Structure 1
Amino acid sequence: MRARRSDEEGEGLLEVKELIENTQEEKITWKNLPHKKQLLLLALCRLSSPLSNACLLPYLYYLVRSILSDPNHPSAPQQISRMTGLLAAAFPLGQMMTSMLWGRLSDTYGRKPTILLGLTISVIANLSFGFSRTIGMLLFWRVLAGMANGTLGVMRTMTAEIVKEKKHHSRAFLAPPVIFNSGRVAALAIGGCLADPVDNLPALFGPGGLFNFSRNPRGVAWAVKYPYAMPAIFNGVVLGTCLILAALWLKESLETREKEWDLGIVIGKSISGFVRKKILRKSTQKYTPLQDEEADAFHNDVRIGEASSSGSTTPTSTQTQYKAHRPPFREIWSTHLLMTLVAFALQPLHNSTFLHIFPVFLSMPSSPNEHPTVFRFTGGLGLASPTVGLYLATFGICGILLQLYIYPRVHKRVGTLGALRVANFIFPLVYLFAPYLSLLSAHKKAKWPAMAGLLFSQIMGRTMAIPSTVILLTEAAPRKSVLGTVHGAGNTVSALASAGGPLIGGLLLARGIDAGAVGVVWWAWLCLIALVALGWSFVLRSDHGEEGKDVEMGVVGGE
């Protein structure tokens, strides 16, 4: 038994050494990233989460206020804070309920059918949310949308299966978040601008608006009755388009099912061929790209040169045995994996709270704060929903640029754990100073640069932390055959953290408003969790060891 284990360890070290040498020989760039079209389609599927979740952030405060029976009551701000926290928590709560189920289903029935089913449910839930006018129905559709988006772990697994070489992982795992953040930018801007279109877009939906065909004196009738339906309609149309694209061109990546016949792919190829031949007038001569040959070689665990010389890529008996083996469920959870899952959960615990609290904080009415102290002051910044949406979207663009140009360089220099630690140093400082923005609400020249600095710093940290934790979780999986289960578990703990964070944050924000100290949620929750995450990122080092760090930097961090 020991000899067998020693042989396996020796083979593993040789494989790592070979990967490091390949990384050093070839410069890893976005241009030579394999299977870019499939990664793009997968990234489009991930738009479901930011569209479902981020679109309502700019107007969530105003949505809840419009449903309250007496929005002008003195206790209204506290009620709104609690309800917004509940609605923000409902989405990840749904994710938590189904993440493991989606992961196990994808391991059995395939990645693509699982993703398509999730997208279909997401379209229905988003459209229905926009036409709901009670807190109960809003909560129901938010939970259902979260359940549909439990497929995030499946998409991360699919990324690892599409791009098999570890040297490409740092960019492959970064590509979907780039689209994710692009969708988030669009969702924030469009959510803020399309909300309550009678007031925000009077030229189109107002009493004399272009779309007011019935000349209703209050504006377009359905927009008056359902003032927050427009963002939901936009989400439904975009996600429906992504569903069609995925059905026609996204390929299955599960090894046991990727060779099966797929009606959607057949129809997609027919459409592509028709467009190429009849519209673009291009030759339909077939050829095999080099990356397909590489993919077959990696799929069958054969070197490209050997595959070409032998004329066959038949898997060896060892590889066949590897494919057939799936460890029992209880044997998946090593100490290393469990520690990585804790780090994976700590990030959304404070990030999701910030993403909920900050827009609400910007929307809350400002307070004069005539006699503030270091810890006792209250109020928000009193910004309108279009202003909040456009402001957050503008800095979302900064996040995309940071992901494309800064993270790969930081990752190359300090490795995966190093990038995570740098990010975790930034978060506590942001949360420490954020509540003092309320003291600047009346200072127009000072509040905008201060808001910009804080938001940019938080986005910088988030840009480095999220892909780093995803890479660490992928590498912690004991076998490729359980990647779906591992990422399902990751999505479960992440969803649990994303549900608990905003819920606790909303309650603490309301408590802070009651006590005249709006900073309570920032200092007693966000800053505290960020400090715990910082400490835990150094605990992970003892599990990896120095050798593991070198491997990470060589295999994952190379550029």
Structure 2
Amino acid sequence: MTEATAKEESKRLLEDGSHDEKQPAISPQDEEEKVTWRNLPHKKQLLLLALCRLSAPLSNACLLPYLYYLVKSILSDPEHPSAPQQISRLTGLLVAAYPLGQMTTSMLWGRLSDSYGRKPTILLGLLISVIANFSFGFSRTIGMLLFWRVMAGMANGILGVMRTMTAEIVKERRYQSRAFLAPPLIFNSGRVMALAIGGCLADPVDNMPSLFGPDGFFNFSRNPDGVAWALKYPYALPALFNGTVLAICLVSATLWLKESLPTKEKDWDFGLVIGKTISGFVRRKILRKQSSGYTPVQVEEAEVLMADAPMGDSSSSGSLTPIDNTKHRPYRPRFREIWTKDLLKQLLAFGLLPFHNSTFLHIFPVFLSMPVSENLHPTAFRFTGGLGLASPTVGLYLATFGICAILLQLFLYPRIQKRIGTLGVFRFANSIFPLAYAAAPYLSLLSGNKIAKWLAMAAVLLAQVMARTMAIPSNVILLTEAAPRKGVLGTVHGAGNTLSAAASASGPVIGGILLAKGIDVGVVGIVWWAWMCLIALMALGWSLLLESSDEKEDEKRTVELEEGTR
């Protein structure tokens, strides 16, 4: 048989699937069309896991609207000299403290979860987040604020563990694109909520006098100036709200979240026992639902067992063979054996994305708030100034597009991912970032046009939001697929989270320095073109060198079939 004939035969066999015993009876396209949010397996577990993700936006984004005024109030205390020129530097330090703390513990959380289980690791991280948020609100020195910001960041190093748990809960790859969207959806919703709550609950005596003022509802002692503790700790209320929400998430996860680590998922869980007791009491006494007397096997669990079982394990009559529940410890590779070539390539891509995205999230609001410059004789690259928007306008505008990101994740990403695949979506998203960053600084030239500036702002922001909406879940899925074994997913995602935190801490710092330099020399676009656009182009080029698992499997099967036909 000639080589050409062998290739044609291999192609035909790949198309009809006659050489693959595990090939489904229906076509992959028909199978993908059946994947919807309604039939997504383990929705309750994914919802619990997504709620745990609220720890990140509540701990990190909530303080942004009032951080400037918090630092200013502390520096104005009698014990501290008044130094307004230090406010900007200290606020930047407080913002960077969170990802720095996250970076130091992400790998540790991952290794702990691989050894002791995903659930206890997540519960410990949430507990520390609750303590850090409560304590941050009642801190009145810069040193204590920094300490609790670092602690909150260290606690939220569990983000990689949550991503690992998502991959282990939803084992079938055709569901993973939607499964990995659930936590980002909650994250974006929490971020929008955190920005709004942070601005509204800060300094409640002045912002909500009907509740905390001299005649307020909560002023039980009738203090002539308002609620006493709110006067002493004017920025504690947002932190109290954050800590309370996270405490509810902690209790819910303790009672109903199931372990997903294969070596630990069969272990006895006292929290689940209490959770089932509470659920049964609610069904019987409140919902008035009678127990059927037996516990049916969930359909989605049976599907996973069927999907994971080898094809030869069923008898000729179609019944499943008994499952061996004997515990055995699977092989765990040594630490240095984890870092394969494909994984290292994907980790670099995982770190490049937040490098420019985190810079945008910090620079763009500053750029919109900067005063307008006349730019009497601008050139293609030499011009400066911002758009002169008020902070409430900036916050409302960004929150609006945060809602757009949620809608895009719900309706746009799954459709595009189904058509061009995960790696295709990642490459497409990376091609949009440079266009948005290259165009952004030219908004300053439209500051005098009341209609054009809003349309241009919407175009730039929508492009960046759409790109990151597609890039982030695709990046997580690709990193998951690059892991050499499922047993080291916690370590792999811990490494990814470490790189992401490092990029999130250093990117805005470098961006802020370049923005200040651009203002000094009259070229506001330096930070956009010489930093964000450059990094985005590097990320685009690197994405073209990546290979998805589908491409590698198809190539492997083609080689095997060619060898078999010769």
Match status 1:128 vs 2:106: no
Q: 1:235 aligns with which of 216, 230, 242?
A: 242
- State the one-letter code of the partner of 1:373: P
- State the one-letter code of the partner of 2:239: A
Structure 2 residue aligned with 1:555: none
Change (3 A) 1:381 1:41: same
Structure 2 residue aligned with 1:373: 378
Measured in 2, the distance between the counterparts of 1:60 and 1:15 equals: 59
Contact in 1 for aligned 2:313/2:320 (Cα 8 Å)? no
Structure 2 residue aligned with 1:359: 365
Match status 1:313 vs 2:319: no
Measured in 2, the distance between the counterparts of 1:87 and 1:224 equals: 23
SS in 2 for 1:350: helix
Structure 1 residue aligned with 2:11: none
Measured in 1, the distance between the counterparts of 2:43 and 2:154 equals: 28
- State the one-letter code of the partner of 1:254: L
Structure 1 residue aligned with 2:398: 392
Structure 1 residue aligned with 2:412: 406
Structure 2 residue aligned with 1:104: 111
Match status 1:344 vs 2:350: yes
SS in 2 for 1:309: coil
Change (3 A) 1:486 1:213: same
Change (3 A) 1:32 1:303: farther
Change (3 A) 1:216 1:548: farther
Structure 2 residue aligned with 1:254: 261
Identify the range of structure 1 (83-92 vs 293-302) with the bigger mean alpha-carbon deviation: 293-302
Q: How far has the Cα of 1:15 moved from its partner?
A: 7.7
Where do residues 535-546 of structure 1 align in structure 2 (5 Å cutoff)?
Answer: 535-541=541-547, 546=551
SS in 1 for 2:65: helix
Structure 1 residue aligned with 2:302: 293
Contact in 2 for aligned 1:192/1:388 (Cα 8 Å)? no
Contact in 1 for aligned 2:386/2:444 (Cα 8 Å)? yes
Match status 1:277 vs 2:284: yes
- State the one-letter code of the partner of 1:535: G
Q: 2:504 aligns with which of 471, 485, 498?
A: 498
Q: How far has the Cα of 1:249 moved from its partner?
A: 0.2
Q: 1:434 aligns with which of 432, 440, 445?
A: 440
Structure 1 residue aligned with 2:10: none
Q: 1:425 aligns with which of 424, 431, 443?
A: 431
Q: How far has the Cα of 1:433 moved from its partner?
A: 2.7
Change (3 A) 1:222 1:50: same
How many residue pairs match? The answer is: 529
Contact in 2 for aligned 1:49/1:149 (Cα 8 Å)? yes
Q: 1:329 aligns with which of 322, 332, 335?
A: 335
Structure 2 residue aligned with 1:4: none
Task: Report the RMSD for the aligned CA atoms in angstroms.
Answer: 3.1
Change (3 A) 1:351 1:548: farther
- State the one-letter code of the partner of 1:288: V
Measured in 1, the distance between the counterparts of 2:546 and 2:448 equals: 44
Measured in 1, the distance between the counterparts of 2:405 and 2:20 equals: 35
Structure 2, unaligned runs of 5 or more: 1-17, 78-82, 557-566
Contact in 2 for aligned 1:99/1:150 (Cα 8 Å)? yes
Structure 2 residue aligned with 1:7: none
Q: 2:167 aligns with which of 137, 150, 160?
A: 160
Measured in 1, the distance between the counterparts of 2:233 and 2:120 equals: 34
Q: 1:186 aligns with which of 189, 193, 200?
A: 193
Measured in 1, the distance between the counterparts of 2:29 and 2:273 equals: 40
Structure 1 residue aligned with 2:102: 95
Measured in 1, the distance between the counterparts of 2:204 and 2:524 equals: 31
Change (3 A) 1:203 1:436: farther
Measured in 2, the distance between the counterparts of 1:121 and 1:175 equals: 24
Q: How far has the Cα of 1:325 moved from its partner?
A: 0.6
Structure 2 residue aligned with 1:557: none
Measured in 2, the distance between the counterparts of 1:29 and 1:325 equals: 35
Q: Structure 1, residues 261-308: CA drift from partner, whole Å, max 9, x if none?
A: 111100000000000000000121232222122234456657896697
Match status 1:470 vs 2:476: yes
SS in 2 for 1:423: helix
Structure 2 residue aligned with 1:6: none
Structure 1 residue aligned with 2:6: none
Match status 1:457 vs 2:467: no
Change (3 A) 1:283 1:410: same
Q: How far has the Cα of 1:360 moved from its partner?
A: 3.5
- State the one-letter code of the partner of 1:408: P
Match status 1:18 vs 2:27: no
SS in 1 for 2:544: helix
Q: How far has the Cα of 1:154 moved from its partner?
A: 0.6
Measured in 2, the distance between the counterparts of 1:360 and 1:221 equals: 34
Q: How far has the Cα of 1:135 moved from its partner?
A: 3.0
Q: How far has the Cα of 1:474 moved from its partner?
A: 0.6
Contact in 2 for aligned 1:293/1:304 (Cα 8 Å)? no
Q: How far has the Cα of 1:539 moved from its partner?
A: 1.9
Measured in 2, the distance between the counterparts of 1:459 and 1:54 equals: 17
Measured in 1, the distance between the counterparts of 2:20 and 2:124 equals: 37
Q: Structure 1, residues 114-149: CA drift from partner, whole Å, max 9, x if none?
A: 000000000111122222333332222111111000
- State the one-letter code of the partner of 1:294: E
Measured in 1, the distance between the counterparts of 2:234 and 2:455 equals: 32
Structure 2 residue aligned with 1:222: 229
Q: How far has the Cα of 1:398 moved from its partner?
A: 0.9
Measured in 1, the distance between the counterparts of 2:62 and 2:451 equals: 28
Identify the range of structure 1 (386-395 vs 119-128) with the bigger mean alpha-carbon deviation: 386-395
Measured in 2, the distance between the counterparts of 1:102 and 1:457 equals: 34
Q: Structure 1, residues 11-65: CA drift from partner, whole Å, max 9, x if none?
A: xx98896379674453222222111111110111111111111222333344444
Change (3 A) 1:511 1:104: same
- State the one-letter code of the partner of 1:369: E
- State the one-letter code of the partner of 1:486: V
Measured in 2, the distance between the counterparts of 1:439 and 1:65 equals: 33
Q: How far has the Cα of 1:80 moved from its partner?
A: 4.6
**Identity score, percent:** 68
Measured in 2, the distance between the counterparts of 1:20 and 1:193 equals: 56
- State the one-letter code of the partner of 2:244: V
Q: How far has the Cα of 1:113 moved from its partner?
A: 0.3
What TM-score results when the alignment is normalised by the length of structure 1? 0.86
Which structure's relative contact order is higher, taking Cα pairs within 8 Å and 6+ residues apart? 1
Contact in 1 for aligned 2:375/2:383 (Cα 8 Å)? no
More helix by proportion, 1 or 2? 1
Structure 1 residue aligned with 2:564: none
Change (3 A) 1:463 1:20: farther
Measured in 1, the distance between the counterparts of 2:21 and 2:483 equals: 16
Measured in 1, the distance between the counterparts of 2:24 and 2:520 equals: 58
Contact in 2 for aligned 1:192/1:387 (Cα 8 Å)? no
Where do residues 17-166 of structure 1 align in structure 2 (5 Å cutoff)?
Answer: 18=23, 23-26=28-31, 27-68=34-75, 79-166=86-173
Measured in 2, the distance between the counterparts of 1:118 and 1:494 equals: 18
Measured in 1, the distance between the counterparts of 2:522 and 2:225 equals: 38
Structure 1, unaligned runs of 5 or more: 1-12, 552-559
Structure 2 residue aligned with 1:481: 487
Contact in 2 for aligned 1:82/1:507 (Cα 8 Å)? no
